[in-house]
Structure 1
Amino acid sequence: MSDVGDLGKRIRSARKAAHLTQQDLSDLAGVSERTVRAIETGTGNPALAAVAAVVKVLGLRLVAE
């Protein structure tokens, strides 16, 4: 699986573990539900700031190597 796909899978898992809908997460992160969906599915080209906001809400860390 690609790094983007793996990231999306981890974000979806964390969102579900937190009992949040995509809409809940988008509201908390200040991004659109469509952006959350794009991040989780590894599609589109969401801004790094949007990904960082989603990750922060979920209490995850975004690490660049």
Structure 2
Amino acid sequence: MGRHEILDYFEHRRDGAWVCTKPFTLTTRRESIPIRPGMRFAYGMRVGGLDLAEYLEQLGSQFGS
């Protein structure tokens, strides 16, 4: 999966949170984490050492999502 394709698995909410819409496995340098629909990620919440909301926001800015 390309870096920006992760955006296809999330919806960005007005409150700034990102909510998973399709299941996938997030693989970081530390571990693999199953991400399930309905899981919410806000700034400061780290998953496998990654601030997932911040990462998604950066990708959205780069790839227009």
Question: How does the TM-score come out when normalised to structure 2?
Answer: 0.29
With structure 1 as the length reference, what TM-score do the two structures score?
0.29
